[in-house]
Amino acid sequence: MELWAIWLILAGVLLVVEMMTLTFYLLWIGIGAVVAAAVALFVPDSFVWQVLAGSVVVLVLTAFTKPLTRRFRTSRGFTDAVDELIGKQGTVVESIREGKPGIVKVGSETWSAVSDEQLAKGDAVIVVERGSALLKVKKWRGDV
């Protein structure tokens, strides 16, 4: 199989996975793979040039779009769906101990969570803060 076809297959797989994650990082890598495929079509014997061209495209796209996405996220009216979890009630699915995260269910989603207090399976909790991958919760006592 020709190398340009392999690059295109890789680009297609990355673009499909990107549609499931919505992070833009795999999109840039997929576009870099398309550029590498184009280079492979015109310079078929130089794998190094293919990788270099694809890598440069990925780096440029990442460098130029990072400030744009940061500006968009901090603009007035933008709300991240995860931020809306703060103040919502959930249930502990896997117990939470000090220094060891557990799992909570908030709405229909499960999240890793930490707490300043020990929480047992089945305890009602309320989300007080969110990190990039963890929620911080406290025991819900009906006062919030």
**Residue boundaries of the structural domains of the chain:** 3-74, 83-139
Q: What's the confidence (pLDDT) of residue 82?
A: 60
For 46-90, write each residue's pLDDT tens digit. 899 999 999 999 999 988 887 877 776 666 665 556 667 888 899
Q: How far is CA 24 from the centre of its chain?
A: 9
What gap in Å lies between CA 41 and CA 130, rounded to an integer? 47
Q: Which residue has the tokens 């130089």?
A: 46
**What pLDDT sits at residue 103?**
93
CATH 1.10.3720.10 fits 83-139, yes or no: no
pLDDT at 83: 65
DSSP 8-state assignment for residue 44: T
Quote the mean pLDDT of the chain.
87
Q: In percent, how much of the chain has pLDDT > 70?
A: 89
What value does the mean pLDDT take over residues 30-53?
94
Alpha helices in the chain (DSSP H): 3-21, 25-42, 47-74
